[in-house]
């Protein structure tokens, strides 16, 4: 008897499922792409509270009774007929394996009714065992419900993360596809609670507003660039001072397909690099139109990657498009020589970049300890990174981040656990959280209350912030504070337990909290803010360096400047 034999279709499908279905988010991605290819204008995604079931409903063209059994067979598709079709296909699915793979590792129920038909049908599949097609009353479109995922693959089931983490991955998938198709309305719920809802009017800024909130959507920079041989780039960027601790605010689309391409993504981040701090990531959403003959969409089992014939040229074009857009938006540093003080500016706080207190408002009337800082007179800000000031000792360059970091470090040490005291806001602030941020908020709502936040849900993913931790009582704006704490919680930077995510008990952790809280480089400051920072430095116990050991200022004496200019005094 020979050693080689054919695998049964069920075993073959389960093996294939390992390539296509990695986790619940992979299931949702495949189902959503099918719905989009079916010309749906409304897609609803429902997730069980603990992830016990996944369901996608759409208003697409639907399938009749004869199509349902074929839909869950491997290599069956309505999108391709011959190999030549692959080079001209703009659909999101190309191989016809998704439903077969999903049905082999779960209990799958499939309902569908074609447009114009008076009757729908249902098909049930239990771990690859196909049932009968039965009539079903339903609205036009298709509905797919997946439950008991990986029940018969214990190794895969144990590899799943917590329900909150898996739901966060699902939210990211829905978010990326919703951005790519602003003409389709997406709704996502978990346990009956809404987590995401886009307008579906074809208005991309409106979709970004629904997903990322007004703080990001109000500052969008449009990108439109055309290169040679049909290459086109369009989309939106957020200004460089808007950034976050992960890449969840980024998306790339090639010919309408959401893809992951390290080379192109690195080109965009490289264009932002001089203006975005280390370990922070810019917001961008870019659509690349490339001739279909130059794209191979079949390079990855989950269709997450594509091969490009002229990848280096596309990378260079993307860098140029982003760089020119940022240069148009940016302004050269202005030397303020007029006598009248400009109006103080209120800046966003996506990464704890809060405005500084007014001059003379020392914390708890702290006495001046270092007169040399109080004697400094700010002249200008250089490259939105350094303060240029003059004083009795000479010309000084002050690192705005290091100096502010020192101020917060000493403040946190003094306040200690009193940071958790709640400080009510005179006027509540509203913020629209992203899907992932909303999931983190729901998971840590009790913790946030213990840490000094008072946050109330206003419906959907919009919340009202009525109180913040008392350490920030003297700040003129708290916009972005909650979002940044949620980033810390979801990014693994919080150690857990009862400690506070922005001020821990140990001195090293105070330094980390101060670094998070301090004003960052590439953030413009008014003359009032620069003077206030210098006044605060005069009250610091040790203003010479930040808690990580970097110097806060460099002094150029008149003698040294004269020597460099060849003067003899």
Q: What is the DSSP string of 208-277?
A: HHHHH-HHHHTT-EEEEEE-GGG-EEEEEE--TT-EESSSTTEEEEETTEEE--HHHHHHHHHHHGGGS-
Alpha carbon distance 305, 291 (integer Å): 17
- Do 263 and 308 have their domain in common? yes
- Do 420 and 512 have their domain in common? yes
Q: What pLDDT was estimated at residue 370?
A: 79
- Do 18 and 65 have their domain in common? yes
Domain boundary among 138, 167, 201: 201
- Do 313 and 443 have their domain in common? no
Domain count, the chain: 3
- Do 22 and 69 have their domain in common? yes
Residue at 487 is within a domain: yes
Q: How far is CA 522 from CA 13, 81, 173, 384, 385, in A?
A: 52, 54, 31, 4, 5
Residue at 103 is within a domain: yes
Q: What pLDDT was estimated at residue 133?
A: 95
- Do 421 and 323 have their domain in common? no
- Domain of 24, CATH number, reads 3.30.565.10
Residue at 163 is within a domain: yes
Residue at 500 is within a domain: yes
- Domain of 480, CATH number, reads 3.30.1540.20
Q: What pLDDT was estimated at residue 563?
A: 84
Q: What pLDDT was estimated at residue 364?
A: 47
Domain boundary among 172, 201, 230: 201
Q: What pLDDT was estimated at residue 108?
A: 96
Residue at 95 is within a domain: yes
Bridge partners for 463 per DSSP: 431, 457
Give the domain extent around 527: 363-556
Cα atoms in the 13 Å half-sphere on the side-chain side of 8: 6
Alpha carbon distance 267, 264 (integer Å): 5
Block means of pLDDT (10 residues each) for the chain, 569 residues, are: 69 64 91 93 94 95 92 73 54 69 93 93 94 94 95 86 87 93 94 89 92 85 86 92 84 89 89 79 93 69 67 88 85 38 32 34 59 85 90 90 87 63 79 77 83 83 82 51 74 48 50 73 86 88 81 88 80
Query: DSSP label at 363?
Result: G
- Do 17 and 56 have their domain in common? yes
- Do 477 and 537 have their domain in common? yes
Task: Specify the 3-state DSSP secondary structure of 57.
Answer: strand
Q: What pLDDT was estimated at residue 114?
A: 95
**Closest-CA residue to 317 (of 221, 200, 235, 197):** 235
DSSP conformation letters of 416-469: GGGGGSEEEEEEEEEEE--HHHHHHHHHTHHHHHHTT-EEEEEETTEEEEEEEE
- Do 311 and 382 have their domain in common? no
Alpha carbon distance 391, 368 (integer Å): 16
φ, ψ at 269 (rounded to 5°) = -65, -30
Residue at 349 is within a domain: no
- Do 232 and 188 have their domain in common? no
- Do 430 and 396 have their domain in common? yes
- Do 177 and 242 have their domain in common? no
- Domain of 300, CATH number, reads 3.30.230.10
Domain boundary among 306, 329, 352: 329
Q: What pLDDT was estimated at residue 347?
A: 28
Task: Specify the 3-state DSSP secondary structure of 41.
Answer: coil
């Amino acid at each position: 008897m020979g050693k080689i034999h054919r695998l049964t279709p069920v075993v073959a499908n389960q093996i294939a499922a390992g390539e296509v279905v990695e986790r619940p988010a992979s299931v949702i991605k495949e189902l959503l792409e099918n719905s989009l290819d079916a010309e749906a204008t409304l897609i609803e995604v429902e997730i069980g509270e603990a992830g016990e079931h996944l369901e996608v409903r759409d208003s697409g063209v639907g399938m009749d009774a004869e199509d349902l059994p074929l839909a869950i067979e491997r290599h069956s598709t309505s999108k391709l007929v011959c190999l030549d079709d692959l080079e001209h296909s703009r659909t999101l699915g190309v191989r016809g394996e998704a439903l077969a793979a999903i049905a082999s590792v779960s209990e799958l129920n499939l309902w569908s009714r074609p447009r114009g038909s008076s009757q729908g049908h249902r098909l049930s599949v239990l771990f690859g065992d196909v049932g009968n097609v039965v009539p079903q009353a339903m609205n036009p479109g298709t509905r797919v419900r997946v439950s008991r995922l990986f029940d018969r693959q214990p190794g895969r089931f144990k590899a799943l993360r917590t329900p909150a983490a898996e739901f966060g991955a699902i939210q990211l998938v829905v978010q990326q596809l919703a951005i790519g198709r602003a003409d389709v309305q997406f709704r996502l719920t978990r346990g009956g609670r809404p987590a995401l809802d886009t307008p579906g009017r074809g208005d991309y800024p409106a979709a970004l507003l629904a997903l990322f909130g007004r703080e990001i959507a109000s500052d969008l920079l449009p990108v439109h660039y055309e290169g040679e041989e049909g290459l086109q780039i369009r989309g939106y960027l957020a200004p460089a001072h808007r950034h976050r601790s992960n890449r969840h605010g980024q998306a790339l689309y090639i010919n309408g397909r959401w893809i992951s391409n390290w080379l192109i993504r690195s080109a965009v981040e490289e264009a932002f690099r001089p203006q975005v701090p280390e370990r922070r990531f810019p917001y961008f959403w870019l659509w690349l139109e490339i001739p279909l003959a130059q794209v191979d969409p079949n390079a990855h089992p989950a269709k997450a990657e594509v091969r490009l014939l002229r990848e280096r040229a596309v990378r260079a074009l993307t860098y140029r498009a982003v760089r020119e857009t940022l240069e148009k938006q940016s302004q050269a540093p202005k030397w303020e020589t007029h006598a009248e003080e400009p109006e103080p500016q209120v800046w966003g706080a996506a990464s704890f970049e809060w405005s500084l207190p007014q001059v003379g408002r020392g914390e708890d009337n702290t006495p001046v300890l270092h007169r040399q800082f109080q004697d400094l007179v700010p002249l200008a800000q250089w490259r939105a990174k350094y303060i240029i000031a003059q004083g009795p000792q000479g010309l000084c360059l002050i690192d705005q981040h290091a100096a502010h970091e020192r101020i917060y470090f000493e403040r946190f040490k003094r306040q200690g656990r009193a940071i958790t005291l709640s400080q009510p806001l005179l006027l509540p602030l509203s913020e629209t959280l992203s899907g992932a941020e909303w999931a983190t908020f729901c998971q840590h709502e009790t913790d946030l209350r213990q840490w000094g936040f008072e946050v109330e849900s206003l419906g959907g993913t919009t919340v009202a912030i009525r109180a913040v931790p008392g350490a920030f009582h003297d700040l003129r704006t708290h916009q972005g504070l909650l979002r940044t704490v949620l980033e810390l919680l979801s990014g693994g930077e919080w150690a857990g337990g009862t400690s506070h995510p922005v001020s821990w008990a140990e001195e090293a952790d105070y330094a980390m909290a101060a670094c998070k809280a301090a004003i960052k480089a590439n953030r413009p400051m008014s003359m009032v803010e620069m003077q206030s920072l210098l006044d605060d430095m005069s009250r610091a116990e040790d203003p010479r360096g930040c808690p990580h050991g970097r110097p806060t200022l460099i002094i150029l004496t008149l003698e040294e400047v004269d020597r460099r200019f060849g003067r003899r005094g």
